[in-house]
Structure 1
């Protein structure tokens, strides 16, 4: 079988060799997963919870081991890798403990017309879920699908990014070690985009994909041929809105972290800032002050995907040639494999630095007349994933948050929603569709099942030819009058 190498983005050293999974290998993983899924679904809620929590505890004990793999493959500092693993543990814990309460069978009202029926709503597992994960957060992001899909009663076949294949292999092997009686429930297949395509064509019951909008469209086209449901998380161009009465020190600190952490390689990271004109200059000074001291290679790692260096450089050059200023950094900040911090000011709204996902340690801070204009500009983006609001009062910030199109908003912080497992995460437009995390994330990997149980014979059974016509007519007329009146 053909193999490929995973290399350190910082040094270029080979970290591991992995097989290239083709259609046969992927199909075999799906078939074997389907057998494991049947046994897993047959367990009661308590049985699944016990096993998932055992895996969680094992991952917690092996945090440093997993973080070392993540750090080596992505280049991110060890502390950031450990924090990523912790976030994944928080979500796995929530999914395991809350699956029953969210997905269990429950009674629902039947309504007057069907008062003779007792109605129930429940959820059944899909079967086998395919997960195509990203390289920027190779544990936290795919686990938002893997953990919730498993908790909902499914088997999972995971195709990690070819840049972080070792992380994906670790996740599957750690599950097998922690839960040996369900060892085949989580399987990893490694390889490039062709392996992901094979997974989309491989007969899974749903596919969860994280990546670019362009690749998502290709995946959607493949899934459409077999009507395979798709959940797509496709990145963002997240905005921070800063009001005239905001705490600028607090806002600047949050912006600096949100834009520069993980070298800006965060789908819900800060890329755009809209500050009311009266505080724009001071905010820019504070953001520059905080980012100037950051050191690439120390506070954040290299660009994990080498080709992203060209995207970052192009965005900066086009912004500056269109009239923007750079109080910190510029094209010279690109020094492969790193990009040093860049702050842009007054970038034209039609510049790629404002319309396309930069995915690097670059933040653009533009001035606006007021928060109304800030909302308008934030919502003008084709992306709608996350955003943040800083105002003098939390109530005012919440009011602004309600007007934003993004799928998640933090008031007084950035990315606050990422660590709250009960909140769903996802976007619309170029940011994709569907939700992971929270109750919505559990339901995303289950199928609703409606059941009615007849309690007694109704006055007029409208589903029987034996019902006298006059009696059926009276029942329909009574219903019509009720709905016409109330």
Structure 2
């Protein structure tokens, strides 16, 4: 897990310079218009696709994840960049909206303008796909971007900016990468004084998000925060248990459990709980750590995994796979727990490791209640043979995204927004909402003709204005 070279540590002045240079480059980018930006971004997409092996190799080197996982991450990135480039004009371009009866003499127009310069602070678990959910959409909306990757994966961020400059040389300074430890990210957010950013998009822990939010608040800089999850899978009595078990194991153990919307909790109706546990264990037992998935990228995460497993057992839970001594190195073997109390850290806190808790519930109503009791509300999944029942349960879950009969199904659908609430943060990336998150609404009215009674003129007799207002009042009182 290494970078190709020691990256520079950028300080406060470096950050401010990067923002200024990005703003300068952003003027011509904004003036390019939606068609021009679409052409440029699709050209960049093609270049990244041709360099998939280079990106994937660097991702694997810095994170430790298997190469096939890194290649899949590049593919997801391409899917989202393609959608943002192709749909920005439709979502953000000028369109006519209803004026309403009172203002029928006005033509009402709505469009969205770029914010200016967006600061993106990215994570290490998906160092390309996750930040590009902000970078790609911000660029498509007409902004410049200053990107601060995790200090664990700086090479990916450096390569990303370089690939953009090479693919779109006329706008080479539009995407700038700054590197360094947490202090560099803090400087970008404005902790050391204003940097001139127009918005910050952050992905990381809730604790760090609070510090970033405090820094942004000093200058009223808007913040989009994605802070992880404690996602639950709900399994009904009629569910296809083989499909559920397969999805649970992949969602819980994939990327060594280091997925913000990964599976950490399972609530299965009691009549199928034991059989589901057996099938989950059967699938998880054959996974080879280091081959099926990589090590924990963040060294300190091993202590979290150990603490959660140990406390779960002390609280009365049972390990049906693995145990208190299982997590000895950062290449952690799968751990499956059951009967863990709902107030145990393994249920309440984000583990971010290959550990899953499978608890029994009376029915799906209790499953929904327990799933919603979490401070996190990012994603969830429901397994049932009834599509209608699955949609009904999905509608009762508080999470920002739900998959029915799959896990993380929404991650590969670029038209769907992604984000949560509570400890999972606020704001949305991806989809139309993701494009609008990096744009400012711009409202315009054009007077088409003189109204019979002009309520915006002192020349209108008061009696005529009063009659018009009374007529409007009566209409609204009746309809």
SS of match in other structure, 2:99: coil
| TM norm structure 2 | 0.98
Q: Which of 471, 474, 483 in structure 1 is aligned with 2:464? A: 471
Corresponding residue number in structure 2 for 1:411: 404
**CA displacement 1:12-36 (0-9 Å, x = unmatched):** x664201111110010010000011
Give the distance between the partners of 1:21 and 1:185, measured in 2 at CA. Answer: 18
More displaced stretch, 335-344 vs 238-247: 335-344
The alpha-carbon deviation at position 50 of structure 1 amounts to: 0.6
Q: Which residue number in structure 2 is paired with residue 186 of structure 1?
A: 175
* Alignment correspondent of 1:137: 126
User: How far did 1:334 drift?
Assistant: 1.2
SS of structure 1 residue aligned to 2:221: coil
Q: Structure 1 CA distance, aligned partners of 2:327 and 2:239?
A: 32
Displacement after TM superposition at 1:331 (Å): 2.3
- Take 1:477 and 1:224, find their aligned partners in 2: how far apart are those partners? 44
Shift of residue 392, structure 1, vs aligned partner: 1.7
Distance 1:417 1:238 in 2: 13
Q: How does 1:73-472 map to 2 (within 5 A)?
A: 73-201=62-190, 202-472=195-465
Where structure 1 has 5 or more consecutive residues not aligned to the other structure, the ranges are: 1-7
What's the offset of the Cα at 1:335?
2.4
Matched, 1:64 2:53: yes
Q: What is the aligned residue count? A: 475
* Residue matched to 1:29: 18
Contact preservation (8 Å) 2:202, 2:224: yes
Is residue 118–residue 144 contact of structure 2 (8 Å, CA) maintained in 1? Answer: yes
Question: What do the CA deviations read for 1:316-353 (whole angstroms, capped 9, x no partner)?
Answer: 00000010000100122212221110000010000000
Query: C-alpha distance in 2, partners of 1:44/1:317?
Result: 56
Q: CA–CA distance in 1 between the matches of 2:409 and 2:49?
A: 22
List, as ranges, runs of 4+ consecutive aligned residues in structure 1 with deviation greater than 3 Å: none
8 Å CA contact 2:239, 2:384 repeated in 1: yes
CA pair 385-14 structure 1, distance change in 2 beyond 3 A: closer
Q: What SS does the aligned partner of 2:152 have? A: helix
Q: Distance in 2 between matches of 1:248 and 1:310?
A: 32
Shift of 1:44: 2.1
Query: How far 1:453 sits from its partner (Å)?
Result: 0.6
Check conservation: 2:3, 2:62, Cα contact below 8 A. Answer: no
Indicate if the aligned counterparts of 2:3 and 2:58 stay in contact, CA closer than 8 A. Answer: no
The answer to whether the Cα contact below 8 Å between 2:137 and 2:430 also exists between their aligned partners in 1 is yes
Q: Deviations along 1:198-253, whole A, 9 cap, x unmatched?
A: 11112110000000000000000000000000000000000000000000000000
The SS at the match of 1:187 is: strand
Aligned partners of 2:3 and 2:154 also within 8 Å: no
| RMSD, aligned α-carbons | 0.7
Separation (CA, whole Å) in 2 of partners of 1:15 and 1:119: 53
Alignment equivalent of 2:36, drawn from 17, 34, 47: 47
Deviation string for 1:437-465 (max 9, x for gaps)? 00000000000011001111112211121
- Closer, same or farther in 2 for the Cα pair 1:143/1:392, shift >3 Å? same
CA distance in 1, matches of 2:154, 2:179: 6
Secondary structure in 2 matching 1:40: helix
Cα deviation for residue 60 of structure 1 reads 0.3
